A and B are shown apart, each in its own frame.
Chain A
Amino acid sequence: MSATMTTNNEKRETRNENLLWRLLRSGMSKTQLVAFTLACLLGVTIMMVAVQFYHDVKPVFGGGDDSLGGSDYLVINRRVTSAGALLGDHTGFTPQEVDDLLAQPWCRGAGAFEAGNFSITARIGLGTGGRALRTGLFFEAVDERYLDVDPTQWGFDSIRPVIPIIIPRDYLSLYNFGYASSVGLPRVSYGQASLLPISFELAGNGYNDVIEGRIVGFSGRLNTVVVPQDFMRWARARYGDGSTPQPTRLVVELNGAPDARVERYMEDNNLEVAGDKMNGSRAQSLMALVVTVVVAVGLIISILALTLLLLSILLLLQRNSRQVRDVMLLGYTPAMVARQYGRIVVISAVVALVLAAAATLLVRFLYSPVLADVGLSTGWSVWPFVIGAAALAILVAIDFIVIRRHVTRLLA
């Protein structure tokens, strides 16, 4: 019984809407409506394709998932000049210099590399036959929060000493593709490298010990041999000369991707950034700028399309002002009338959004083989749709408010 009543009410409301709509749509041009929707579609598609493209090519510029709104890291040191090298300029960072760095708006944090002040010799066994590499080495320690690997056995126990180390990924590549291939030694995978027998001979302050070591991770961020801080403190106390050397390198955590301010600071303070991070970031910044411009163009086209649609609706409203006034004198509220016209904007925007999403998928499908050729295979991103939908939602809301105000003014 109640279900029947609900259905009847729904039918009545639908018929009511239809009657109202029949009155208020009088004089509407379908051609104009289609044209405005197509213009809106063009604008939203440009926006969405640009955002999708940016998402797809971002890895080329070194932007990982953590560079979009997250943090990025730089390893910095003083630039060594010829004169400075001869004259023995200080290469360390004073506490004041570190404080100055931390005070920069783009700097979220900084960690000092603590260097060892004792002698280290590493011996790395290379499989059967007793072949081994023997080399002088250095260790540095840094706060654990700056590590980009999550080693399981990070720490040092002086009673049963084993030194866990993290080495740069480049070192393994250098060995595999440089040294090993030239002298006929077998290549080593990441997994195998962790199993290589390594020992370190530590000497200084009258002590000379051989301690077992283990590679526990490979870092893409830190270009040094990293050991735990508690080992470094123990080793300095045992083998060191009692001095506390100033840190010569810092790992800096940024608030976002490195930008021109970071570059200027490095220049002004005669600092050097390890690797090509700044170049990659510069290219990424340029890419972001280009994408921003393209998104802005798409947004402007969408704004123009919806503004023209709004003007067309206001004209329609003016043309039907007599009907609008009369239905409001029957008891219809401005919101009820505005909803009829607002529906046109919503339908136009939703059609544009859905078609734009389809067009974005199509465009991406067309350019994805090119990306695959250069080794890029990122997944779909929801951001183009979110950004397109958010932009349209804001524009539609503004249109709604303007239409409602206009309707209310008609009766005033």
Chain B
Amino acid sequence: MTKIEIDNVLPDVFAGTRPASDVWLTGCTITRGEHVEVAAASGEGKSTLCAFLYGYRNDYSGSIRFDGEDISTFDIERWSALRRRHLSYVPQDLRLFDKLTALENCMIKNTLTDHKTEREIRDMLSAIGLQDRIDYPAGRLSIGQRQRVAIVRALCQPMDVLLLDEPASHLDEASNRAAAGMIAAEADRQGAAVVVMSVGARLLIDYSRNLQLSRKP
């Protein structure tokens, strides 16, 4: 997949309004290799946009196309394949499995994709400051630690686009830089686009573009 086109899209919950936006009700394209920040205040549809792009919500008007194909026609099998090989995602609520350890949370993704070795995953978790928490159940980690585990898990797959929904909201500056460095390195190695939703704390990578989900008049 080389590009995502967001064409005249508006979430159903905003139906009847005409928000001033770089994304809603306009034409917007994200291509492989670029780093895009989508900034907005709370409640303006960042997670909603991620849900549309990741295929688990479709309550919108307009069309979203992956390489020209309308994603509303994709079935569950197609989405599963995309999530294993082309699209990666760090959701705002992280969706870690509390009973599994930090390593197992990454392994459950990696065994699907066979993208990293266990050694590499351990190294990544250590590099991001979790060397003492690798075998801890995720349910016993702090929110910041959980955020870092979710980021490592998202990097355990081949991808064309990496979606991150407020990935740095609970990271201190050192962790933020470590996470950003790791994300940029992996994305650049794969030539993938990085799309970061930001409200408040920004992930500290170099952005090639900045989009406003909602402009103040």
Contacts and interface: CB of A to CB of B under 8 A. Distances in A.
The list of the 10 closest CB pairs from A to B, nearest first, reads A16-B111, A331-B84, A331-B83, A333-B80, A326-B95, A19-B108, A330-B109, A331-B112, A331-B80, A12-B111
Contacts of A12: 111, 114
A300 B113 CA distance: 44
Contacts of B95: 326, 329
B99 interface: yes
Nearest to B105: A19
Interface stretch (A20-28, A69-77, A232-240): A20-28
B76 A334 contact: yes
At the interface, is chain A mostly helix, strand, loop or mixed? helix
Contacts of A13: 111
Interface string A288-319: 00000000000000000000000000000000
B74 interface: no
A329 B96 CA distance: 11
Contact of B100 (A19, A332, A334): A19
A65 B157 CA distance: 63
Contacts of A334: 76
Given A12-B111, A13-B111, A22 B76 contact: no
Interface string B74-88: 001100110110000
A274 interface: no
A363 interface: no
Contacts of B157: 331
Contacts of A19: 100, 104, 107-108, 111
Interface in A327-383: 327-334
A23 B99 contact: yes
A149 interface: no
B52 interface: no
A327 B97 CA distance: 9
B56 A327 contact: no
B107 A23 contact: no
B111 A332 contact: no
A333 B111 contact: no
Contact of A326 (B76, B77, B97, B107): B97
B97 A23 contact: yes
A326 B105 CA distance: 11
B102 to A, nearest CB: 13
A333 B83 CA distance: 10
A323 interface: yes
Interface in A78-128: none
A103 B104 CA distance: 74
B159 to A, nearest CB: 11
B24 interface: no
At the interface, is chain B mostly helix, strand, loop or mixed? helix
Interface string B56-77: 1000000000000000000011
B149 to A, nearest CB: 13
A264 interface: no
Contacts of A26: 99
Given A22-B99, A23-B100, A331-B157, 7 more contacts: A326-B97, A327-B108, A329-B89, A330-B109, A331-B80, A331-B113, A333-B77
B136 interface: no
Nearest to A335: B77
23 contacts: A12-B111, A13-B111, A15-B111, A16-B108, A16-B111, A19-B107, A23-B97, A23-B99, A26-B99, A323-B97, A326-B95, A326-B97, A327-B108, A328-B76, A328-B80, A329-B54, A329-B83, A331-B80, A331-B81, A331-B83, A332-B112, A333-B80, A411-B56
Interface in A12-49: 12-13, 15-16, 19-20, 22-23, 26
A408 interface: yes
Nearest to B75: A408
B108 A329 contact: no
Nearest to A20: B108
A15 B109 CA distance: 12
A23 to B, nearest CB: 6
Contacts of B54: 329
B180 to A, nearest CB: 23
Interface in A200-217: none
B109 A331 contact: yes
Nearest to B81: A331
A332 B114 CA distance: 13
Nearest to A327: B108
A329 B99 contact: no
Contacts of A332: 80, 112
A228 B33 CA distance: 95
A14 to B, nearest CB: 10
Contacts of B109: 330-331
A28 to B, nearest CB: 14
